Structure 1
Amino acid sequence: MPSHQPTAGMMAVDPAYVSEQPSAASKPAPKEPVRNTKYDPKKPHITETPMTKKNWYKHVNWLNVVLILGIPLTGLIAAWWTPLYWQTAVFAVAYYFATGLGITAGYHRLWAHTSYSATTPLKIFLAAVGGGAVEGSIRWWARDHRAHHRYTDTDKDPYSVRKGLLYSHFGWMLMKQNPKRIGRTDISDLNDDFVVVWQHKHYLKVVLFMGLIFPSIACGLLWQDWLGGFIYGGILRIFFVQQATFCVNSLAHWLGDQPFDDRNSPRDHVITALVTLGEGYHNFHHEFPSDYRNAIEWHQYDPTKWSIWAWKQMGLAYDLKQFRSNEIEKGRLQQLQKKLDQKRSKLDWGVPLEQLPVMEWDEYVDQAKNGRGLIAVAGVVHDVTDFIADHPGGKAMIKSGLGKDATAMFNGGVYLHSNAAHNLLSTMRVGIIRGGMEVEIWKRAHAEGKDTVMSKDAHGNKIVRAGSQPTKVFDPPASANAA
């Protein structure tokens, strides 16, 4: 392997291009790390020095500034005097999609995540057009991307969105990075792939030819637009495909929903998918990275997935990996439950039964006779004083149950109250009758196998599902004046 690095972004230049876990397959001796000959691991890196007004320029990766910003700006200026023929425009768009697929279907899903296998002709094609996107070699790109997945949102993530949206977009390439701080990853499989090794060894030649020379020759030979091919099919097309790819690192970690997990920043959004050839369903991707799909619904935009599937039909791709739908739905359900728990925790469910004071029956009756609006349902005492005037059934009906066991009355003896009524009643709890119906109901439920499992949310609070309030008795006993 050569000692030089893929220059640019051409993406960031990696001064310590290391294979952390070299392959031992078919090689008796471990490989030596492949490093830049000018790299001195003992010398303090510039990032370890605070940035000041005097040394700020040393922190800037000027080569990448020129390649990522300078050359595209030059192309935009040159485009002012360069006519755009429709044939060149069509070619530029088509080549944009081809080189974009080289990154999304090739660099990303094939090599970084091995989500499917490809035949040699398809590998060569993807390595070639991927090089035309000018985003570094496969080996360098996949190495950083695996670190990004392994250390998402941490200091070891080479383009963590926690450092800012612009930083994750391209700031990490415009500013120098300390290679010692990037998380370690295993790229032994890439070192054993002859296409990856060949592209890495001849990366600059691949970039120059596929990035600039090929579009110039194609437009020049076919309709005599050599300059247009160079400007529009080359420079500007590279700029747009790079910015689209960079959105996977930035926009996909900032815009959208998190249907599978919200512990880290990846998000799903159709806008990001449109910009990135289907890579916008990023929350799904970070949860199930070895799935060859990003979009799992038929209506979601994922041309990369469709291309891989089409290549399979042509015999060019095989072993397309998919996570079991059972596991995917489990993740989706768990995240939904987490959101429900968060919303549930903000609602008033009444004082938990175990925190209520225990009252003797005589004490309950005595307080009700002395003007306190207390009513007992299923052994739970409720203070309905402020609700009597608002009772939909009228004051007389609710007053008739004060100081009594109104379990049967509340559960169908007079009126079978709704789930909403049980929920509202729970917010009025003030005590529990000693040995009252609350105890008998739970004993009976246990004996009959009803509601014997008490679920708790993520905060440890009991989950009260529809119809499962302790005051809900499906076969109410007869009312009595005493417990």
Structure 2
Amino acid sequence: MSSEHPQKETHHQQHDKSSVPDNYVTHTLKQHPPLPPFQWRNWRTEITWIPLVLLVSTPLIAAIGACYTPLRWQTALFSVFYYYVTGMGITAGYHRQWSHRSYTAALPLQYALAMAGAGACQGSIKWWSRNHRAHHRYTDTPLDPYNATDGFYHSHIGWLLVKPRIKPGFADIQDLSKDEVVRWQLRWYLTLTLVMGFALPTAVPWLAWGDAQGGYVYAAVMRLVFVHHSTFCVNSLAHWLGAASFDDKHSPRDHLLTALVSIGEGYHNFHHQFPADYRNAIHWYQYDPTKWFIAACEALGLAHQLRRFGENEVRKGAWSMKVKEMRREQEGLVWPSASEELPVVGWEEFQEQARTPARTLVLVAGFIHDLAPFLDAHPGGRALLATMAGKDATTAFFGGIYDHSNAAHNLLAMHRVAVLHGGCAHAADEKFVPPAQRLRIVCHDE
């Protein structure tokens, strides 16, 4: 769907240890400044015509053709089936086999996936995988060919229609250059695209149940429109809709809707964190037919060396995001004053202040609390609290009269007004720290 981009620089040239920049993206942009923004006055030379013609003509042909072509049930079923065949050519083939080497397909399966991928009309394996590896390496930067930070339209389809303003960042594709299947597909790509993308899906309904026109409109053209935008959603929708389940450093997100429209590629946050894993969805209930297909091929002896990222690291990523969410929730809560923020008073001063009619000062675990605002709300009655004014109620609070709940301990701490000189409990004592505060999340530098 686009011309090949020869990889002129070598891996060693790009990674000369004697001149490694502090930031490769910034360094590259200084060395190769972006082209000027797209201008309509130069549209004839700025547009990439092959993708434009293909991506504009197919929806028009499908829409007009559907108005004049009855949809037979056999053709409908075959169109859906062929959508999955060519879609798997991209997801199981281009993406998980060649871009990420997340598993090793047997040679017959590799040829089948290469042909199916050609039927999706999205460029050769080499071109597609080179861009995708750059996307992973430079996610959300100008060197990402379908940079999501440039907007939904750009990442979905815009990057294909206009010549790139910045050359995609370096990605090592030496393995693809040596791959016999990749080389074979590249050599026969145009023929494979025409046969697998248009001739075969037209011929099967024609020869099997006499519906050549329906085969062309629905199984060839309309199916191709769905395959295109199904795949494009992984670059756009999957960076916009959903949750950052494993990391929030970059834009990829996990969402069932994206998985449904992309043959299982919608758990994109997981994928960007663990790209070498043959799965996108790690739970049995998550929709990932590409994962199921690869697993079935393994059972049939057509795939092996299925790579799974370590369970401990996967769980660590999920745990980190849960902790971040709890930290954000924690920051919205009001916490009791720390001991160093409170005045320190002696016993005599405590006694004197406790005799003030407007205050009901009670000592618990070394902290002086003013319980006057809580007298009428106390479940045990205000009289009980009043009798403890000016006294050490630590034993009474922790079981002597009533073994108070965690909620009561948390609430009590919110009424702290001072620290008794020499009377503060040891910080390790559970009576000193309210239950909720014991679980409070702190950063490593706090």
TM-score normalised to the size of structure 2? 0.88
The letter of the residue matching 1:400 is: T
Instruction: Name the CA distance, whole Å, in 2 between partners of 1:174 and 1:46.
Output: 21
Structure 2 counterpart SS, 1:339 = helix
Q: What residue number does 2:145 align with?
A: 158
Instruction: Name the CA distance, whole Å, in 2 between partners of 1:201 and 1:427.
Output: 74
- Counterparts of 1:361-400 in structure 2, within 5 Å, are 361-371=347-357, 372-400=359-387
The letter of the residue matching 2:324 is: K
- Counterparts of 1:3-14 in structure 2, within 5 Å, are 13=2
Of 422, 426, 438, which aligns to 1:435?
422
Aligned pair 1:357/2:343, yes or no? yes
Change (3 A) 1:102 1:443: closer
Change (3 A) 1:349 1:156: same
Q: 1:16, 1:179 within 8 Å by CA — same for their partners in 2? A: no
Instruction: Name the CA distance, whole Å, in 2 between partners of 1:328 and 1:45.
Output: 37
Q: What residue number does 2:17 align with?
A: none
Instruction: Name the CA distance, whole Å, in 2 between partners of 1:215 and 1:55.
Output: 38
Structure 2 counterpart SS, 1:54 = helix
1:336 Cα deviation after fit = 0.7
Moved more, 68-77 or 186-195: 68-77
1:258 Cα deviation after fit = 2.0
Instruction: Name the CA distance, whole Å, in 2 between partners of 1:213 and 1:89.
Output: 17
**Which string of whole-angstrom CA distances, capped at 9 and with x for unpartnered residues, describes residues 340-372 of structure 1?**
111011101111223222222222222111233
Q: 1:351, 1:427 within 8 Å by CA — same for their partners in 2? A: yes
Aligned pair 1:83/2:67, yes or no? no
Q: 1:47, 1:59 within 8 Å by CA — same for their partners in 2? A: no
Of 81, 86, 96, which aligns to 1:109?
96
Of 253, 263, 273, which aligns to 1:277?
263
The letter of the residue matching 1:165 is: F
Structure 2 counterpart SS, 1:437 = coil
- Counterparts of 1:289-368 in structure 2, within 5 Å, are 289-368=275-354
Structure 1 counterpart SS, 2:363 = strand
**Alignment RMSD:** 2.6
Structure 2 counterpart SS, 1:48 = coil
Instruction: Name the CA distance, whole Å, in 1 between partners of 2:413 and 2:429.
Output: 19
Change (3 A) 1:258 1:69: same
Of 382, 386, 401, which aligns to 2:388?
401
Q: What residue number does 1:54 align with?
A: 41
Change (3 A) 1:285 1:417: same
1:382 Cα deviation after fit = 1.7
1:83 Cα deviation after fit = 3.0
- Counterparts of 1:130-141 in structure 2, within 5 Å, are 130-141=117-128
Of 230, 233, 244, which aligns to 1:247?
233
**Which string of whole-angstrom CA distances, capped at 9 and with x for unpartnered residues, describes residues 155-193 of structure 1?**
22211221111221111112221352x221111111121
The letter of the residue matching 1:116 is: Y
Aligned pair 1:210/2:196, yes or no? yes
Instruction: Name the CA distance, whole Å, in 2 between partners of 1:390 and 1:443.
Output: 29
Change (3 A) 1:296 1:81: same
1:402 Cα deviation after fit = 1.7
Of 146, 158, 161, which aligns to 2:133?
146
1:316 Cα deviation after fit = 0.4
- Percent identity over the alignment is 48
Structure 1 counterpart SS, 2:418 = strand
Change (3 A) 1:183 1:45: closer
Q: What residue number does 1:32 align with?
A: none
Flag the structure with higher helix content. Answer: 2
Q: 1:88, 1:219 within 8 Å by CA — same for their partners in 2? A: yes
Q: What residue number does 1:228 align with?
A: 214
Structure 1, gaps ≥5 residues long = 1-11, 25-43, 463-483
Structure 1 counterpart SS, 2:41 = coil
Change (3 A) 1:14 1:423: farther
Instruction: Name the CA distance, whole Å, in 2 between partners of 1:196 and 1:444.
Output: 64
Instruction: Name the CA distance, whole Å, in 2 between partners of 1:139 and 1:228.
Output: 33
Change (3 A) 1:359 1:55: farther
Of 243, 253, 277, which aligns to 1:267?
253
Structure 1 counterpart SS, 2:215 = helix
Q: 1:23, 1:192 within 8 Å by CA — same for their partners in 2? A: no
Q: How many residues align?
A: 423
Instruction: Name the CA distance, whole Å, in 1 between partners of 2:93 and 2:402.
Output: 67
Q: 1:113, 1:289 within 8 Å by CA — same for their partners in 2? A: yes
TM-score normalised to the size of structure 1? 0.82
- Counterparts of 1:21-60 in structure 2, within 5 Å, are 21=10, 48-52=35-39, 54-55=41-42, 58-60=45-47
Change (3 A) 1:345 1:178: same
The letter of the residue matching 1:391 is: H
Q: 1:118, 1:316 within 8 Å by CA — same for their partners in 2? A: yes
Change (3 A) 1:352 1:156: farther
Change (3 A) 1:433 1:265: same
Structure 2 counterpart SS, 1:381 = strand
Change (3 A) 1:318 1:23: farther
The letter of the residue matching 2:53 is: V
1:387 Cα deviation after fit = 1.3
Of 24, 30, 52, which aligns to 1:65?
52
Q: 2:102, 2:276 within 8 Å by CA — same for their partners in 1? A: yes
Q: What residue number does 1:198 align with?
A: 184
Q: 1:350, 1:426 within 8 Å by CA — same for their partners in 2? A: yes
Instruction: Name the CA distance, whole Å, in 2 between partners of 1:253 and 1:418.
Output: 45
Change (3 A) 1:49 1:178: closer
Structure 2, gaps ≥5 residues long = 14-30
